[in-house]
A and B are shown apart, each in its own frame.
Chain A
Amino acid sequence: MKIDSRLRVADLTLERGERRILDSIGLQFAAGAVTAVLGPNGAGKSTLLACLAGLLHASHGNVDLDGAPLMSLAGDERARRIAFLPQIPEISWPVEVATLVALGRIPFRHRASDAENAAAVQRAMQATRTTQWSQRPVTTLSGGERARVLLARVLAGESDWILADEPFAGLDPAHQFEAADLLRSLAAQGHGVVLTIHDLALAARIADRVVILHRGRVVADGTPEEALTPTTLREVYGIEAQWLSVRERGTPLIAIHGRHAG
């Protein structure tokens, strides 16, 4: 399956009071790749992702989905094309896992049959290996299990785009890799995946493209090797880091030696 879809931001600026959270950002994303957005706390990563998901209005500039301004799309239509996983996911009620995953089909009501919706929920639960919990109240699951269920909810929409704000936060290394592999396989199937992440090494491992934000601006954009250079990392994070034996054993590794002195 090849999805031909483009998400583009042009001259995107977002101000809150005096503060510029995002400063004239121009980026284009094509479906079929994993893009990791990195940057220190407060760099504007989550804000950028929320703009890409159509959840925040920019002060200037715009976000286009395949040439159409995102804000001109009806809420349902936008939600069918772009799924969003919030950074701090809330679960307000002890609903069963299958019911929670089925919430991902809300934008499809009146659009898809019950059978189609049920099949999509099944596929999402199989992909995230959450089927065995389908009748359990989601509040009885552990943090890592819950994260998989919330990911299943996002997948249930079978949208072209999956935007995930820190999808690996709070997961142990094994579950991080599992979730990362799942997102990679979605990109391989043609979906566009954009995620924010703090772990440099994990970003280098899973992303096709890395965008680094610093104080609301794009300071690096390219393959992990191109973007995550020691110079950029020093400038942005104030750390001394270096790539170790790039791609040896197929996994890139970034070693962080410490804070940059000066």
Chain B
Amino acid sequence: MTTRRWVMPSLLAIVLLLAVASIAVGRIVLGWNVWLEQDAIGRTILLELRLPRALLGIAIGAALGLGGAALQGYLRNPLADPGTLGVSSMAAFGAVLSIFLGAADLHPWVLPASGIAGAMVGMATLFLLAGVTASALTLVLAGMILSAIAVAGIALVLSLSPSPWAAGEIVRWLLGALADRSLDDLFISTPPIVAGAALILASQRALDALTLGEVGARSLGIDLGRAQWQLAGGVGLVVGGSVAVSGIIGFVGLVVPHLVRPLVGARPSALLVPSAVGGAALVLAGDVVVRLLPGGSEVQLGVVMSLIGAPFFFALLYSMRRQVA
């Protein structure tokens, strides 16, 4: 496996480069000398806008990439993704509900906690609707149902709210973005993402064993009930924690594991960390692209991800059509 040794260093180098690009690029381009000059505006842009934005891109991209790799491994299905399966929508619904009910104003942790609760309800519903041994088709349909309910819920709640910007808010949640986020957003989303990642990484053995199916995994001594709750909790935390801050950024968890698999092999545990790093790279890249596109107002990151991800999903479905049916 000597050819695979370069994969992680390369992915990390790409993330580093993109992070630098993400800090530099925008309506005002920051140069290397922003540190040296006595440029108060440049420094404010760097510390209060660009740096949080780049760091959030890394955290959220890693969360979505890891969540996707974990879901695919557990469900043994390359079409699984927190976005396509409606887990992200449920997280956004939870977050929106907490804002609408005024609970989010009580404490800064209420918002991410509500997002996490929504994501976990989504995971539990998904397991109930589709089960562990579900076919790809059942799973995708279950995800569609969940998404439909969550999106309708978000639109309903925001329409009922007294805010005059309700329509804009709906778009902001359904098509996520990283613009205008602060370090506070980073501080509330990072702890759940780290905790969820730890839970997911602790279930590596179960994910690998599931390569042999449910019976095969149990015969290898794996407690599948425990693995299920560990993963529901882990994916709920990473997705809920990230969506509560960025809104729904779809397809990252679908695209990244698929791109990483040829590089590191198909063993589910081997995919987890590279998918997290690859997710960070993809979200950073998308977030640089939205700033480079011409036009008066910045395009939402969720739009770019869907433009890349949806055709990708279609191609994947097309190549799998015999297995799916």
Contact = CB atoms under 8 A, between A and B. Distances in A.
Interface string B256-267: 000000000111
Interface in B224-282: 265-268
A103 B209 contact: yes
A106 B211 contact: no
A106 B209 contact: yes
Interface in A55-106: 55, 74-80, 82-84, 86, 89-96, 99-100, 103-104, 106
Contacts of B208: 103, 106
| Closest 9 pairs between A and B when the two form their complex, measured CB to CB | A90-B213, A79-B221, A75-B221, A84-B219, A92-B76, A93-B266, A76-B221, A86-B215, A107-B221
A: interface residue count bin: 20 to 34
14 contacts: A75-B221, A78-B221, A79-B220, A79-B221, A86-B219, A89-B216, A90-B214, A92-B76, A93-B211, A95-B265, A96-B265, A100-B212, A103-B212, A137-B266
Contacts of A148: none
Interface string A115-158: 00000000000000000000001000000000000000100000
B30 interface: no
A77 B265 CA distance: 29
Contact of B222 (A75, A86, A95): A75
Interface string B122-153: 00000000000000000000000000000000
Contacts, number: 76
Given A103-B208, A106-B205, A92 B219 contact: no
B223 interface: yes
A247 interface: no
Interface centre among B208, B219, B220, B222 (most CB of A within 10 A): B219
Contacts of A76: 221
B260 to A, nearest CB: 13
Nearest to A87: B215
Nearest to A77: B221
The majority secondary structure among interface residues of chain A is mixed
A94 B205 CA distance: 17
A227 interface: no
A74 to B, nearest CB: 7
Contact of A91 (B212, B214, B223): B212
A86 B76 CA distance: 18
B221 A100 contact: no
Contacts of A257: none
A103 B208 CA distance: 7
Interface of A: 50, 53, 55, 74-80, 82-84, 86, 89-96, 99-100, 103-104, 106-107, 109, 137, 153
Contacts of B223: 75
B74 to A, nearest CB: 10
A84 B214 CA distance: 12
B321 interface: no
A55 B218 contact: yes
B265 A80 contact: no
Given A77-B221, A80-B221, 15 more contacts: A53-B219, A55-B219, A76-B221, A79-B221, A82-B219, A86-B216, A89-B212, A90-B76, A90-B214, A91-B211, A91-B212, A100-B212, A103-B220, A104-B220, A106-B208
B320 to A, nearest CB: 13
Nearest to A82: B219
Nearest to A55: B218
Nearest to A110: B205
A106 B76 contact: no
Contact of A95 (B211, B214, B218): B211
A80 B220 CA distance: 8
Contacts of B215: 50, 55, 84, 86, 90
B288 interface: no
B179 interface: no
B209 A86 contact: no
Nearest to A86: B215
Contact of A90 (B212, B220, B268): B212
Contacts of A95: 211, 265-267
B210 interface: yes
Interface string B189-225: 0000000000000000100111111111011111100
